[in-house]
Amino acid sequence: MRKLVAGNWKMNGTRADLSELQAIVQAHPAPGVDIVICPPATLLFQAAQMTAGHAPDIGAQDCHPAASGAHTGDISAPMIADTGATAVIVGHSERRETYNETNDLIHAKASAAHASGLIAIICVGETLAERDAGQTLQVIGDQLAGSTPDGATSTNTVIAYEPVWAIGTGKIPTLDQIGEVHDFIREFLTARLESAALDLRILYGGSVKPTNAAEIFAVPNVDGALVGGASLSNADFTPIIKALEATF
């Protein structure tokens, strides 16, 4: 399995910030891992052009489940594919929370991504209240069951485990806690999906930094990271990529 570092720029970045993307391109002429950058939708086309034929690949941060129609402000999976992007994040906790996105909706978005040939990066993760109540694995299991299409395979789907309380906070779970959830996700996927999903990549996300990346990547069943803040600059992102490359 080829490991993966994905960067989620969230609502950050104008054209001037494509200089950071250019720096990432130059820093990784032949990376030993897959790299995906997910800039805001306004930059998708230019980012895809800038990286054509090189790493990183480009992804979007969300898509509508329909291919087209009267959905003001939304962007469909075929539109994302048309920019040259090859992936899309679905079910990020910021969208689950702010827009009340349900597992059913995320399932539909992931299916739409697959239908357009995009890799769906499906996010799951518990809140601090859920963790404190001992519900973490139950919550993750429900999210996975509800939002992962039956047709998910290791080539069209990536799962990102992002504890809500670790996002943007500088806090991360213990390595044992990360390992427990990643093992659970692996077992869950193995039991539920076809053999084509056996080596589906499971990323950890939430306050991944150059300083903690190596220890997180050493945890079994952690196949890479989904990085927020530290993906905005090549200076922070490249050491995370190097830490993953150093794991094999």
Query: Which range touches ligand 13P (CB under 6 A), out of 77-85, 129-137, 202-210, 212-220?
Result: 202-210
Closest-CA residue to 90 (of 101, 74, 79, 78) = 101
Nearer residue to ligand 13P within complex by CB, 101 or 162: 162
- The yes or no reply on residue 37 touching ligand 13P (CB under 6 A) is no
Q: Taking the CA of residue 122 as centre, how many other CA atoms within 13 Å lie in the half-sphere pointing to its CB?
A: 32
- The yes or no reply on residue 189 touching ligand 13P (CB under 6 A) is no
Closest-CA residue to 146 (of 159, 164, 131) = 159
Q: How many residues bind ligand 13P (CB under 6 A)?
A: 14
- If one counts every other C-beta atom within 10 angstroms of the C-beta of residue 146, the result is 15
Report whether 107 contacts 65 (CB < 8 A): no
- If one counts every other C-beta atom within 10 angstroms of the C-beta of residue 143, the result is 22
Binding to ligand 13P, residues 90-109 (CB under 6 A): 92
- The yes or no reply on residue 144 touching ligand 13P (CB under 6 A) is no
- The yes or no reply on residue 163 touching ligand 13P (CB under 6 A) is no
CB of 8 to ligand 13P, least distance (A): 4
Report whether 201 contacts 158 (CB < 8 A): yes
> How far, rounded to the nearest angstrom, does the alpha carbon of residue 28 sit from its chain's CA centroid?
20
194 is catalytic: no
Nearer residue to ligand 13P within complex by CB, 168 or 220: 168
Q: Residue 94: which residues within 8 A CB-CB, separation 6 or more?
A: 10, 167
Catalytic pick among 64, 92, 107, 114: 92
71 is catalytic: no
Nearer residue to ligand 13P within complex by CB, 164 or 189: 164
Please list the residues that pair with 160 across neighbouring strands.
123, 203
Query: Which range touches ligand 13P (CB under 6 A), out of 24-32, 46-54, 200-208, 212-220?
Result: 200-208
Give the catalytic positions in this structure.
92, 162
What is the binding site for ligand 13P (CB under 6 A)?
8, 92, 162, 167-168, 205-208, 226-230
